[in-house]
Structure 1
Amino acid sequence: MSEQADAPILRGPALEGLEQYGAVTDVFHAAVERFKDKPAFSCMGKTLSFTDLDRLSSNFAAWLQHETDLVPGDRIAIQLPNVLQFPVTVFGALRAGLVVVNTNPLYTEREMAHQFKDANAKAIVILANMADKLERVLDKTDIKHVVVTELADLHDFPKRLLINSVVKYVKKMVPRYSLPQAVSLRDTLNKGAALSHRDVTREQDDLAALQYTGGTTGMPKGAMLTHRNLVANMLQAREAIGGNLTDGNELVIAPLPVYHIYTFTVNCLFLMETGNHSVLITNPRDLDGFIKSLKGLPFTAFIGLNTLFNALCNRDDFKQLDFSKLHLTISGGMALTKTSAKRWEEVTGCPIAEGYGLTETSPIVSFNPTDAIQLGTIGKPVAGTAVKVVNADGQDQPLGEPGELCVQGPQVMKGYWQREEETRNSIDADGWFHTGDIAVLQDDGYIRIVDRKKDMILVSGFNVYPNEVEDVVAAHPDVVESAAVGIADEAAGEAIKLFVVSKNPDLDAETLRRWCKSELTGYKVPKVIEFRDELPKTNVGKVLRRQLRDEDNHTAAS
């Protein structure tokens, strides 16, 4: 038994090299210098080398510095799917000293307006497909500078024209919009190429990104991630995963959204720093197109999550791919089931190593050693990281006893943007971040998640907070009250079930679902709606979500 087996705290190995980089941009420059003409990112058949990425991000930074009034520290929203424009604009913004606000391109107008206003974003880069939504909320924000890009803007002519024309005129995926102040990304890059760019020096404690995450009390809030947070987590990823990769020689499939902290840190930082080639999958929900794009690619690593592994392994065309080069598969974002892990290994010949993290921890906290994977656990703490569990009174629990998982390390966020009270409630005086997840620390150094303290629902790796769903439903004129809970779902891990008390007996589930779709991103829309005469409550009137969840689980099991 290890020395730490009798202690209430598990610690990863020492973290080395944090002081070699002052900021994320230092990581970028080192990678560009070291790997130059090696491929960095590919998407839809177009590849950017590290030199291309350097040139294009420099052009964008120059445009920001000369053609706008933005100053270091200002926030710029990046609302893009997995396209080459994402790393170009993110690194361009960081080189100009701006703070990146990663924004889900599936957001509704209401969600966009909240995030942009809350972050006090002064600029945005947005895909043309959702520019009509921006038009309708722009006057509710502080955004002055709008950059619009089309899907294939970084492809060469004539493929660029072909793809953009099909998306716009054949598939009709770009609704009409009017943003007179907007400039095209291609114009910004062309103008920036003729301007001198100067990199802005940022310190480790300066903000690099505002990464929005849900809260148990309502609308999403911004986790303040500093340059130190992101650089530390990049180095932690290298220590935990890097031994399985050869610098500059890996071809990595990246189907998860780059605006999500998981892919943002792993692909845009860790894999870039190691000189490896990320293939961005623009629409992984289109399994036909996704699998077609994998054919003939000698990919060596795959980064995914449980629902995607399940979906792919159900496809005969996926099973026929060549997996002979695949030697690393990473899972995160949601719990990996043993069934999914075993099936993936049967199909591909490659085991899955599961990790765990949160937006507030940049995100990686723990990872399964690839030579000692323990299914059902989230692995061991990464370098420089300490974890412990505490009971309801905040007292440390011994190994083997469940409690709330707490994390300490250089990847823990600075706090929540403009929410000091919520920051104090999440990070205690000793710097421990309280995750809200209930875990057991095993005597072999592995961590096992057993439950969640929060009422958060995890749908395909995305956090859904009941209050947000209930707030939207409450605005329906026929709804008296409602409660949203998570239920088991084979495809998504969890789905949302909504219990509703209505004053109109004619209100049906489909009508209410359409109401939700107008205000909520698709994964937040309830899958199951049950009408009741009343909801169980505490003696002070608080709805007992756990009782509803337990009742539903009991019904499903009987």
Structure 2
Amino acid sequence: MAQSVGQMFFARVAASQDVVALHAPHHNPPIKLTYGDFGKKVKHFAGGLLKLGLEKGDKVALISDNCPQWIISDLAILCVGGISVPRGADTSVAEVWYIINHSEAKGAILQNKRQYVQLAKELSTIPTLQWIVLLDDSVETIVQEQSFVSPGIRLVNYSDVCNSGEAGEELVEEAVKQVDREDIAALVYTSGTTGIPKGVPLRHRNLLYQCETIDLGFTINPGDVLLSILPAWHVYERIAEYFGMYHGTTIYYTDKRWLKDDMAKVDPSFIPCVPRIWESVYDAVMAKLSKAAPRKRQLVEFLLKSSREFIVHRRRVLGKEAAKYPPSLKESLKAFLRIIPLLPLHFFADFLVYRKIRSLTGKRLKAAVSGGGTLAPYLDDFFEAVGVPILNGYGLTETSPVLAVRSVKNNIRGSVGLPLRGTEIEIRDEDGNVLPQGEVGVIWARGPQVMSGYYKNEEETRRVLSPDGWFNTGDLGWFTWQGHLVISGRAKDTIVLLSGENVEPERIETVARKSPLVHQIVVVGQDKKALGALVVPEWETLAVVLNLPPNTPIEVLLNNPNAAKVVKDSINTVLREDGGFRSFEFISNVHLLAEPFSVENGMLTQTMKPKRNVILSRYARTIDEMLS
């Protein structure tokens, strides 16, 4: 058994020398490496880091987006006992400074010259920082242009570090042997929807447990393609890549610009992604359908509706509903009888429509794992109906991240699956008492993947971690009768109305995004009489609904007296159709926003979740006026 991520990696290198490990066709220049070549590059860069003075336990900030150099740098740091401190290239200067300073990093690896120029003056004030490596080899350009060079901090090209380490392979091999499962591998700062980022130290055992334990219910063979689109610094994508390397897969790098073409061209076996990816696929299908001839559109809509009914009854017959109690014999028999007339329609729809939709994801997809947010029920239903296997999972940065995940053999839609082997999950009330199966409460977890505590933050550690190792996730959930976990909201996001009613906004937002008029939405109403919503609309669709040209300027739509009401009515319609909402959970008023929520304006986290505290603060007056 491997004792570190580095040992795991080099075991795979030895076993799969000629298998393609990394493929980045959109990189400039394109990169394609076998595991043998990959292993050499990691060794060379690790040897160069040793020459820069990196010692076991030293921290290195890795501020970059997805690219082969990211994973090479990350593995090199871990192989020689360093601690990787990752973050995305689009992180603000203030946040990067805080993370590098707070972590006491000895070195930093930056993506390019532009990033260095933005950060140089601030980084020069960090006393522990001794060197900076630039992945784009732009040191000479910086010197020639007389850009600001941080005094006392050595500036080095990535290629020079690699070249200097070529003669140090034996030193690297010896260093790899000295790293233990209990050593810290990474210090990951939570993107967080509230407050200052918290440093989460993850040990080699935390990360290896994920690779060794996650079972998706299908065989992963060396050479299977893993499509990588998420931020590499995020622990979800990081574990996906480690998991892929553990099994010898080919990691194929793509991004939003190339995703549609790459899914069809590359034929991936496995896609780790967030719900927004599947929302975009669904939206694209629905947009194409809306432009079809009326009779064709009506036929496809009828077939989709019939298939949804078919899969709902099929789940009941197979005992695969996310329900508190098993179906009675009478309910199962009734569902079976309903399936019979729907089955031919479903097969016809598959032949006529669904196989074309499946082709969008390639021909060899074994499964896609969705994590990092709630997968809306309508998406679960749609992709089950068309035959695209999506496995929803659940976890947090503090849990490395996976606590539970569905598998293709036991795919209970609406749930996030069974806890991983060796992981304990309890549902507790506000007083810490364990609740019986089926009741909603706060999710607590204990297992080999759970962190030991926040870095230099004992107060926060005591707040979320008990002395016996139980971690308070802050999420709400319950267990189905089969033992699968269902996420129902976020405890600290709960809105309390003046009437005393508690509302989980995320559940409403998830369903509201089914409206064709909603692009982004945040539900508000704390201490108000009723709920409201801040909505970034789908402007072209809104224009058409208002009987205006699709290219009507946003300013004109914002000033249209009917626009907000039309959006509100559309949201309440989909909530009503869902059937799971109480009267006080409907939206009483809507305010339309011209500016989308984004990472760049600070209103979304890197995993595309709304930063509620930032949004509520920015639009406080608007919310008061809307709900007064």
TM-score > 0.5 by shorter chain: yes
Separation in structure 1 between the aligned mates of residue 259 and residue 596 of structure 2, nearest angstrom: 33
Residue in 1 that maps onto 2:401: 363
- Mapped contact 1:496–1:526 kept (Cα < 8 A): no
| Residue 354 (structure 1) aligned to one of 392, 396, 400 | 392
Residue 496 of structure 1 deviates from its aligned partner by 8.3
Query: In structure 2, what is the equivalent of residue 469 of structure 1?
Result: none
Equivalent pair of 1:76/1:121 in contact (CA under 8 Å): yes
Q: CA deviation at 1:52?
A: 1.2
In the TM superposition, what is the alpha-carbon distance from 1:82 to its structure 2 partner?
1.1
**Is 1:245 matched up with 2:219?**
yes
Gaps of 5+ in 2: 289-355, 496-504, 527-592
Deviation at 1:332, TM superposition (A): 0.7
Partner of 1:144: 130
Equivalent residue number for residue 119 of structure 2: 134
Compute the displacement of 1:455 (Å). Answer: 3.2
- Counterpart in the other structure of 2:42: 57
CA distance in 2 between partners of 1:498 and 1:133 (Å): 39
Task: Find the aligned partners of 1:256 and 1:195 in 2 and give their Cα distance.
Answer: 33
Which position in structure 2 is the counterpart of 1:234?
211
Aligned equivalents of 1:205, 1:32: Cα separation in 2: 23
What amino acid does structure 2 have at the position aligned with 1:330? V
Displacement of 1:195 after TM fit? 3.6
Seq. identity, %: 26
Larger relative contact order (C-alpha < 8 A, sep ≥ 6)? 1
Q: How far did 1:315 drift?
A: 3.4
Decide which of 586, 601, 613 is 1:517's aligned counterpart. 601
State the shift of 1:493 in Å.
7.0
1:198 and 1:515, CA in 2 relative to 1: closer, same or farther beyond 3 A? closer
- 1:405 matched to 2:378? The reply is no
Q: Distance in 2 between matches of 1:78 and 1:531?
A: 36
- Aligned letter for 2:61? A
Rounded Cα–Cα distance in structure 2 between residues aligned with 1:69 and 1:292:
43
Counterpart Cα distance in 1 of 2:419 and 2:602: 41
Check if 1:43 corresponds to 2:132: no
Residue of 105, 118, 125 corresponding to 2:109: 125
Q: Distance in 1 between matches of 2:432 and 2:36?
A: 51
After TM superposition, list the pairs within 5 Å mapping 1:294-305 onto structure 2: 294-305=263-274
Task: Note the C-alpha offset of 1:94.
Answer: 1.1
Q: Match of 1:532?
A: 621
* Mapped partners of 2:596, 2:418: distance in 1: 43
**Equivalent position of 1:465 in the other structure:** none
Amino acid at match of 1:352: I
Matched, 1:209 2:194: no
Superposition pairs of residues 95-494 of structure 1, within 5 angstroms = 95-128=79-112, 129-141=114-126, 142-150=128-136, 178-179=148-149, 181-196=154-169, 197-199=171-173, 200=175, 201-214=178-191, 218-237=195-214, 240-241=215-216, 243-267=217-241, 269-281=242-254, 283-284=255-256, 286=257, 289-315=258-284, 319=357, 321=360, 323-345=362-384, 349-455=387-493, 488=509, 490=513
1:84 is matched with 68
> Residues 404 and 520 from structure 1, CA distance in 2 versus in 1: closer, same or farther, beyond 3 angstroms?
closer
- CA RMSD in angstroms comes to 3.5
Could you tell me which residue of structure 1 aligns to residue 350 of structure 2? none
The total of aligned residue pairs comes to 454
Residue 441 of structure 1: how far off its partner (Å): 1.7
Measured after TM superposition, the shift of residue 510 of structure 1 is 8.2
Tell me: CA distance 1:519–1:189, structure 2 relative to 1, closer, same or farther (3 Å): farther
User: Which residue does the alignment assign to 2:11?
Assistant: 30
* Preserved contact between residue 439 and residue 450 of structure 1 (Cα < 8 Å): yes
Calculate the TM-score normalised by the size of structure 2: 0.66
- Structure with max Cα Rg: 2
Give deviations 1:115-152, integer Å, cap 9, x for gaps: 111111111111114222221321232322101112xx
Structure 2 vs 1, CA of residues 309 and 423 (structure 1 numbering), >3 Å: closer, same or farther? same
User: Helix, strand or coil: the match of 1:308?
Assistant: helix
Structure ranking higher in helix proportion: 2
- Give the drift of 1:337: 1.1
2:558 alignment partner in structure 1 = none
Instruction: For 1:343 and 1:221, locate their aligned partners in 2 and report how far apart those are by CA, in whole Å.
Output: 37
SS in 1 for 2:238: helix
Residues 308-317 or 432-441, more deviating: 308-317
Q: Contact conserved, 2:437 with 2:480, CA < 8 A, in 1? A: yes
Q: Letter of the aligned partner of 2:621 in structure 1?
A: R
